[in-house]
Structure 1
Amino acid sequence: MKKSTKMMFFTMMIIGTMITMSSNSWMSMWMGLEVNMMSFIPLIYKMKNNKSAESSMIYFLTQSMSSMLMLFSISMNSMMENKMMILLTISLMIKMGAAPFQMWFTEMMNKMSWMNCLILMTWQKMAPMFICQMSQEKFLMSSALSTMVGAIGGLNQTSTRKIMAFSSINHMGWMMMCTTFNNNLWIMYLLIYSTLMMPLAWMFNEKMIMHSSQMMTNMKSMTEKMNITCMMMSMGGMPPMLGFLPKWMAINSMMESNMYMIMIMMIMMSIITLFYYMRITMSTMMIYEVQKKWMMINQNKNMYTSIMLTMNLLLMTMMMFF
């Protein structure tokens, strides 16, 4: 795919999300979601192999089904409002890949490149999350189930893309919980999650890490291993890393709303996600070097170090403000 064509589809994908977020009617929101979907499919299929063809077909069929449900729920708005909101909720959960409709999401993640996985985990969540907030529905059951599925599903995985997919489902549960408080807390959560996910996906893409066993061989120096460990701990929400800040804000909002039982359950599920992050990084840290000293390449060390210093400075600044 040419760079100009790729840029055109990428711009259309952003425009589709902006149409949804700036609309004041259900039909225009649906139109924005359709523009976003039809722009993302060519970006998936740019590699032109069997895996990208299969993942683009999975995405098209799943999103088309959820769009039909959404359109049907919009058309029956004036007749029966309760059933309309149930159908709208189901369609949005399918679009986001939230539990119990997460099967297509994990399969797609395992067949795509890291850059497409990054878009699917971050930007593609924005428009459905906005509609979730606008619908004024309580997604308590789905958010609790998403945190549980995201935590337990990643325990027996060796593929790093599937591990990140289940981690995204877990974070999605926290974001859906943030939408129930009728404020912009979920936007802050999504921004911080995207900030943490970008350098991690970039590093996985550069080092061509598709399985957890490759982290021991593809990470050549101790600096790279320390960087990936800090990023993983931050993704798991270990304090005082940056990833703990959005969960702290969500926990504070849940305590103010007296939602103690669901809060305890979600914290326990987050500890499980932190466990399988630590399981990957500890095995990587045990081996100090896998290459001869005179064969080591130092070209990317300064870049990784600057990324981590920037993230730590951002963490300290945000902690001082809060």
Structure 2
Amino acid sequence: MKNSSMTMFITIITMSVMMILNSNNWINIWIGLEINMMAFIPMIYKVKNHLTSESCMMYFLIQSMGSMILLCMILITNTLMMTEMMINTIMSNILIMSMAIKMGVPPFHFWMPEVMNKMNWIKCLMLMTLQKIPLLFTMSLINPTIIMMVLIITSVIMGAMGGLNHTSLRKMMAYSSMNHMGWMMSCIIINKNLWILYMMMYIIITIPLMMWLNYYKLYYINQISMTASTLVSKMTLLINMMSMGGMPPFTGFYMKWMVIKSFTIMNMQFMIVIMIMCSLLTLFYYIRMMSPMFLMHYSMNNWMIKYYSYKFMLTIMFIVNMIMPAAMYIIM
């Protein structure tokens, strides 16, 4: 695919996201989601092989299923012979489930690790961040129901337990994204706009990590030990992983602290305990990803290190996870 085509598809995706964020009816939201899907599929198929073909087909079928449920619910709402309260409840539940299918939220998550495992890191980054923004926005327009609480619990549990059984970094990051989706949906229950702050901080943490993984073409745990060459680089990468897991006092902890504080005020201690315990499990497999760098002896020739871009990525990770939390503490 030419760079001009890639630029065009990225522009279309960005415009579709802006269209959804500024929509005032469900039909416009559905149209924006369809445009977003049809622009993202050619980006997946940039490298033509059987793996990308499979991921394109899986992504298309799942997104089409979610869009079909959304459209059917929009069209038949006015024909249901029920009270307004019953219609609102049923519509809210079905719309939440359709968004969960499109986001890959457990128990509708089985497609997401498989699709991510067949893409490069840049496409994975887009699927984990940019593609989730319009879906979370749509979910924030719906009144929270018991279905959303169930999705939050299943997301944090499956996102934590699913990553324990894999050595593929892309699958582990997919389950990590599911766990964070549970926290973002919790933000929707607390405050309709709080998930935006959580998503912004999640993107800021994820981008330098994905840039580093893409730069070295790392796809499995056993490849990580052959990258970082100095103690400073090892510690910086470890800090970034700790931030992803929500370890205080790094940036990722402040994202989860907002949710914990709000749930405590709402007397939802049961939810807090489940979410914190699952965060500890995600922290475990983040540490498992980084442990080969510290525990294995290896050597690397100086000519294998590209200093400028390497130091730039480490600097970004350091600023995001060490300086940014101090600034946030002063603001808060």
1:215-254 mapped onto 2 (5 Å cutoff): 215-254=224-263
The reply on whether 1:297 has 2:305 as its aligned counterpart is yes
Conserved 8 A contact 1:17-1:127: yes
Specify the alignment match of 1:319 in structure 2: 329
The reply on whether 1:309 has 2:318 as its aligned counterpart is yes
The reply on whether 1:54 has 2:62 as its aligned counterpart is no
Q: Deviations over 1:210-235 (max 9, x none)?
A: 00010012333333322221111110
Q: Deviations over 1:81-134 (max 9, x none)?
A: 133222212111001100100001111111100000000000111111011110
Count of equivalent residues: 321
Q: 1: distance between equivalents of 2:94 and 2:196? A: 24
Deviating beyond 6 angstroms after TM superposition, the runs of 4 or more aligned structure 1 residues are: none
Q: Deviations over 1:19-41 (max 9, x none)?
A: 11111111111111111111111
Conserved 8 A contact 1:220-1:291: yes
Question: Cα distance, 1:303 vs. partner?
Answer: 1.4
1:86-97 mapped onto 2 (5 Å cutoff): 86-97=93-104
Amino acid aligned to 1:105: M
Could you tell me which runs of 5 or more consecutive residues in structure 1 were left unpaired when the two chains were aligned: none
Q: 1: distance between equivalents of 2:212 and 2:330? A: 29
Amino acid aligned to 2:139: C
Question: Cα distance, 1:295 vs. partner?
Answer: 5.3
Identity %: 41
Question: Cα distance, 1:289 vs. partner?
Answer: 4.2
Specify the alignment match of 1:119 in structure 2: 126
Question: 133, 145, 158: which is aligned to 2:154?
Answer: 145
1:160-309 mapped onto 2 (5 Å cutoff): 160-287=169-296, 289-291=298-300, 297=305, 299=307, 300-309=309-318
RMSD: 1.5
Name the TM-score, length of structure 1 as normaliser.
Answer: 0.96
Amino acid aligned to 1:317: A
Q: 1: distance between equivalents of 2:311 and 2:298? A: 18
- Distance of aligned partners of 1:301 and 1:84 in 2 relative to their CA distance in 1, 3 Å threshold: closer
Could you tell me which runs of 5 or more consecutive residues in structure 2 were left unpaired when the two chains were aligned: none
Q: Deviations over 1:52-72 (max 9, x none)?
A: 111111111100011000001
Amino acid aligned to 2:161: I
Q: 1: distance between equivalents of 2:12 and 2:304? A: 43
* Counterpart secondary structure, 1:243: helix
